[in-house]
Amino acid sequence: MTDLLTQQGCPSRNCKSYGNSNDVVLHDKKLNRLRCKVCGKTWSAHHLEFHFGLRTDTVKVRRAVDMLKAEIPIRKIARLVDVSAGTVMRWKKKLNKFN
């Protein structure tokens, strides 16, 4: 968890400590939430990760992403991961925005 503290600064653009990781403290260890000491904003330590906000199991998402990178057809990925083709398409779109 200490790695998350050293890598992330306050995400609030209105804060005078924006992007500064020196003013970030652990807010909730169980939920991996961080807090800015200056403005008080809290956020998830995982908000910068691709799978943040997805409701599907992380293992399924990672498998699908690996298959997308290997250029396996979307319908085949959907069948192997047991999700709809539309879901794989949304993940692909999100992955393209993320990279």
Average pLDDT for the chain: 86
CA of residue 72 relative to chain centroid, distance? 23
d(CA 58, CA 73): 20
pLDDT digit string (tens) for 5-36? 557 888 888 998 888 888 888 888 777 889 99
pLDDT at 87 over 60: yes
Dist. CA 99–CA 81, nearest whole Å: 22
Q: What residue type is assigned to position 22 of the chain?
A: N
Radius of gyration of the chain (CA): 17
* Better-predicted residue by pLDDT, 57 or 75: 75
Would you say residue 84 has pLDDT above 90?
yes
Quick count: other Cβ atoms within 10 Å of Cβ 45? Answer: 22
For residue 3, the model assigns a pLDDT of: 58
